[in-house]
């Protein structure tokens, strides 16, 4: 893998252990510099390496240490923006690396377009095939669902469950083997993003 990414140093896990639970302000400040150097900086380098490998992933952001919304002292997040409300994600924590694709926090017009695309036999069947392939590859499909079948469609609609979605999320843990300490970690992320590409393109085409 080209670029400056060389994986996460082993000390990154020691830092995250120090930030377990709800650390005090004093503890967070004490470990701030080490976390920036050992946890966040490798994520920035990883995302740069991923963007160098494929320009489709150039619009990325890496959450900062002081992100109060997440309060994720033990987790380092990064996203790649693909379209409004559609993003790829990478997470580093004590379990290692995880990746995902999310269409979420969508405006009502996007949800309406999603439901129309799912109801359509052509695009709807393609989505079923895409999701089935991802599940066989080890991805977990989730999202915010209506409690009841979508009004206006029969309860036995062949894609009734997909019609209930108000968001679609596909996630997969990549693990925490020795490769996480090497540049090969970027190759694992790129491979996972490649698996998610068809779902990402379906969402961008039909929802955004």
Q: What is the mean pLDDT of residues 166-181?
A: 97
Predicted structure pTM score: 0.91
Assigned domain for 28 exists? yes
Give the tokens for residue 61: 């952001």
Assigned domain for 4 exists? no
Assigned domain for 1 exists? no
Q: How far apart are CA 90 and CA 76, in angstroms?
A: 8
Assigned domain for 111 exists? yes
- Identify which has the larger pLDDT, 77 or 67: 77
Q: How far apart are CA 68 and CA 187, in angstroms?
A: 31
8 A C-beta contact, residue 143 and residue 168: yes
What is the per-residue burial (b if ≥16 Cβ within 10 Å, else e) of 100-121? bbbbeebeeebbebbbebbbee
Nearest to 35 by CA among 73, 90, 6: 73
Name 1's Cβ contacts closer than 8 Å, sequence gap at least 6. 49, 53, 183, 184, 186, 187
CATH of the domain at 42: 3.30.930.20
Name the β-bridge partners of 102. Answer: 87, 169
Q: What is the mean pLDDT of residues 44-70?
A: 87
Name the β-bridge partners of 89. Answer: 79, 100
- The residue segments making up the domain with residue 151 are 11-206
Assigned domain for 66 exists? yes
Q: What's the number of domains the chain is made of?
A: 1
Percent residues over pLDDT 90 in the chain = 79
pLDDT tier, 43 (very low <50, low <70, confident <90, very high otherwise): very high
Assigned domain for 5 exists? no
Nearest to 21 by CA among 94, 100, 98: 94
């Amino acid at each position: 893998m080209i670029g400056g990414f060389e994986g996460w140093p082993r000390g990154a896990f020691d830092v995250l252990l120090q930030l377990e639970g709800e650390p005090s302000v004093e503890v967070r400040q004490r470990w701030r510099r080490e976390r920036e150097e050992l946890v966040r900086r490798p994520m920035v380098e990883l995302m740069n390496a991923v963007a160098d490998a494929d320009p489709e992933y150039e619009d990325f952001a890496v959450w900062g240490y002081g992100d109060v919304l997440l309060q994720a002292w033990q987790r380092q997040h990064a996203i790649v923006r693909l379209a409004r409300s559609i993003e790829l994600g990478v997470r580093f924590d004590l379990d290692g690396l995880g990746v995902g694709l999310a269409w979420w926090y969508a405006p009502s017009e996007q949800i309406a377009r999603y439901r129309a695309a799912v109801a359509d036999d052509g695009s709807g069947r393609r989505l079923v095939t895409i999701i089935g392939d991802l599940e066989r590859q080890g991805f977990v499909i989730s999202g915010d669902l209506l409690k009841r079948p979508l009004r206006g469609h029969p309860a036995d609609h062949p894609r009734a469950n997909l019609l209930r979605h108000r968001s679609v999320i596909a996630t997969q843990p990549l693990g925490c083997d020795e490769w996480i300490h090497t540049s090969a970690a970027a190759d694992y992320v790129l491979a996972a993003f490649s698996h998610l590409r068809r779902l990402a393109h379906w969402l961008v085409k039909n929802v955004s």
